Amino acid sequence: MLLCAVALASPAADGVLTVFAAASLTNALEEVGRAFTATTGVPVRFSFASSSQLAKQVESGAPADVFVSADQEWMDYLASRRLIEPGTRRDIVGNRLVLVAPADSPVKLKIGPGFPLAAALGARGRIATGDPSSVPAGKYARAALMRLGVWQSVESRIIPADNVRTALNFVARAEAPLGIVYATDARAEKRVRVVDIFPDTTHEPIRYPAAATTVAGAEAAGFLEFLTSEPARAIFDRAGFDRP
C-alpha cells in the first residue's frame, strides 16, 4: 500500500501530483499527464532529467510521488534504499537504441561487429550520448559498442551528456556528427535522422519501470494505473515506444 497516512507530508499535499521521469519520456509523458488530468481533475507536475540525477534527488529527499526510470538499475537503486513502494513497480514502455546524424548529413553506416564508427566521425568529430558512467542511454550505448568491438576506438571521443535529450541536441545543432540516443528521441527531433538501429542483442532490454515513492500521496496509485491504460498506451504508441 502507498504510505500516505500523513497527508500533509506528502509531495501531493498541495493537490498536485509530482512525477520525476527520464528525459526521453518528456513529450509523451506530458501528453499522458494532460490526459490524466482531463480524466481525474488531478494536475501533474513533471521534473525531467536523467534517471541518475532524479534518483539521487529522491534519495536526498526531493518531493516526488512517482519515479519513472529509463533503466532498471536506478529503480533498483531506490528500491535497495527503501525509497519506493515495491508493490507499485511496473514496466510501462520499452525503447530501442539508434545511431543518429544531423538531418542533412550524408553519412551511411551499417551497425555490426567492427563497423567503422571512428572513421565516420572524421579527424575531429565526436559522438554524443548520455554519460556512460551514469545515464542509462550512455550505459546502453557503451554496452552495445563494447559488444560490437568498437568501444575502444571511440571511447576518447564521447561527449558524455547529462541526459539523452542533451545528447540529441548536440546532433540536432550539428555540434556532433553522430549520436546514440533512443528511437523515440530521434522521432521527436526533425533535425536528426536515424542512420541505423542497434540490434537488441547488443545491450540489455530497454524498459522503463515506474513506481510510487514511499512518501507518495494517494493520487500516485491512480496515475500508475493510468500509465498502463489504453489511452496512455495509445499516446506511447504514437511516440514510438514499444510495449513492455
Asked whether residue 202 is assigned to any structural domain, the reply reads no
* Same-domain check for residues 54 and 121: no
Residue 104 burial class via C-beta count within 10 angstroms: exposed 0-12, middle 13-18, buried 19 and up: exposed
Residue 213 burial class via C-beta count within 10 angstroms: exposed 0-12, middle 13-18, buried 19 and up: buried
Q: Which tens digits make up the pLDDT trace of 214-227? A: 999 999 999 999 99
Per-residue pLDDT for 85 more than 50?
yes
Confidence (pLDDT) at 132: 98
For the chain, what is the mean pLDDT? 94
Range of the domain at 70: 7-94+207-239
Alpha helices (runs of H) in 51-99, residue ranges in sequence order: 51-59, 72-80
Please state, for a pLDDT cut of 70, what percent of the chain lies above it: 95
CATH of the domain at 229: 3.40.190.10
Asked whether residue 2 is assigned to any structural domain, the reply reads no
* Same-domain check for residues 185 and 219: no
Asked whether residue 105 is assigned to any structural domain, the reply reads yes
Confidence (pLDDT) at 33: 98
Per-residue pLDDT for 241 more than 80?
yes
Q: Which of 237, 105, 89 is nearest to 171 (CA)?
A: 105
Cα angle 77-217-28, degrees, rounded to a multiple of 5: 70
* Same-domain check for residues 110 and 151: yes
Grid cell listed for 239: 511516440
Q: Which tens digits make up the pLDDT trace of 165-183? A: 999 999 999 999 999 999 9
Per-residue pLDDT for 120 more than 80?
yes
For the residues 184-196, what does the mean pLDDT come to?
97
Confidence (pLDDT) at 13: 56
* Same-domain check for residues 175 and 89: no
Task: Report CA torsion sign: 59, 61, 62, 64.
Answer: positive
Residue 190 burial class via C-beta count within 10 angstroms: exposed 0-12, middle 13-18, buried 19 and up: exposed
Cell numbers 542483442 correspond to 201
Where does the pLDDT of residue 11 fall: very low under 50, low under 70, confident under 90, or very high at 90 and above?
A: low
Q: Using alpha carbons only, how large is the chain's radius of gyration in Å? A: 19
Confidence (pLDDT) at 14: 72
pTM: 0.92
Looking at the structure of the chain, the number of domains it has is 2
Confidence (pLDDT) at 6: 31
* Same-domain check for residues 105 and 183: yes
* Same-domain check for residues 189 and 230: no
* Same-domain check for residues 109 and 81: no
For the residues 52-68, what does the mean pLDDT come to?
97
